[in-house]
Structure 1
Amino acid sequence: MGKEKGRVMGIDFGTRHIGVAVSDELRVIAKGIETVNWNGTDPEWALNRICEIIKEMGVNAIVIGRPARTDGTRSETQEKAEEFGKALAGLCGIEPVYKDERYTTVLASRYLHESNIKAKKQKAVIDQVAAEIILQDYLNML
């Protein structure tokens, strides 16, 4: 049985910024495409924007980072990410898969620093890079 085809979206959920990455059609490479800045105040706007991206890019699967605490216990952000995922599924019709995302922002920061990206530019793309890491890890498991 071959690997399924079609784009997968990776989401690095945050209470202020949501990093979005999308795979290629063959589900090999993840690429950060947008940071949805919502400041936790308008989830409906953020959900609608992500659904627009899903339609524009032809996404047929979603993986959302589940930010557990370092000791593995549930965090408040994890619960909010799951609520967001349920709302997204209701709006867009795609049930998300969740993946542990501890340390992805740290890894993204390290990657950007080692790539000599200036601090101001890092802030704008760090959530996208974290979404890329979440998505690429998921793609590598397929």
Structure 2
Amino acid sequence: MRIMGLDFGTVTVGVAVSDPLGLTAQGIETIRYVEHKKNVLFDRLGELIEQYAVQSIVVGLPKDLIGTETERAAASKSFAKSLRRKFHLPVDLWDERLTTMAAERILIAADVSRSKRKKVIDMEAAVLILQSYLDKKRMEKKRDE
């Protein structure tokens, strides 16, 4: 079962998908969109959902360091609700604390230039969101067995 991970931002959405077994997350792309033209965003997500046979979606939920939802969390919740309605798939919200900073560190360590980092940081954050979600689900499954 493939799961899609999304890092929802004000002008970009980072996209990652799991492998068919739900073990690893791979970055797919960063989608740029304009707030009043979200249909372009949803059209592209629909194409990716079909292409990768996605069966559920995980959207990053912004929280501060102590776990309180940030101002941006309401937008992520609204986006998740729109995804459920549009694609009729289960959508989970997942704590995305520090994923963008971690993504930046990974890209710097890989010696990715600043201009290239700007283009892929949201996709890398989506990978981290999805991978932490997959790891947690795998741990819960092992515990329950």
Q: Same fold (TM over 0.5)?
A: yes
Counterpart secondary structure, 2:97: coil
- Cα deviation, 1:86-121, whole Å, max 9, x if unaligned, reads 111111111211111011000000000001011111
- Cα deviation, 1:107-141, whole Å, max 9, x if unaligned, reads 00000000101111111110000000000001111
1:1-142 superposed matches below 5 A: 6-142=1-137
For 1:124 and 1:74, the matched residues in 2 are separated by: 26
**Identity across matched positions, percent:** 39
What stretches of structure 1 move > 2 A for 4+ residues in a row?
69-76
Question: Which runs of 5 or more residues in structure 1 are unaligned?
Answer: 1-5
Counterpart secondary structure, 1:34: strand
Are 1:86 and 1:95, in contact at CA under 8 Å, matched by a contact in 2? no
User: How much does 1:77 deviate?
Assistant: 1.3
Give the number of aligned pairs: 137
For 1:127 and 1:41, the matched residues in 2 are separated by: 20
Question: Which runs of 5 or more residues in structure 2 are unaligned?
Answer: 138-145
CA RMSD of aligned residues (A): 1.1
Counterpart secondary structure, 1:75: coil
Partner amino acid for 2:106?
Y
With structure 2 as the length reference, what TM-score do the two structures score? 0.90
Q: Which has the higher helix share?
A: 2
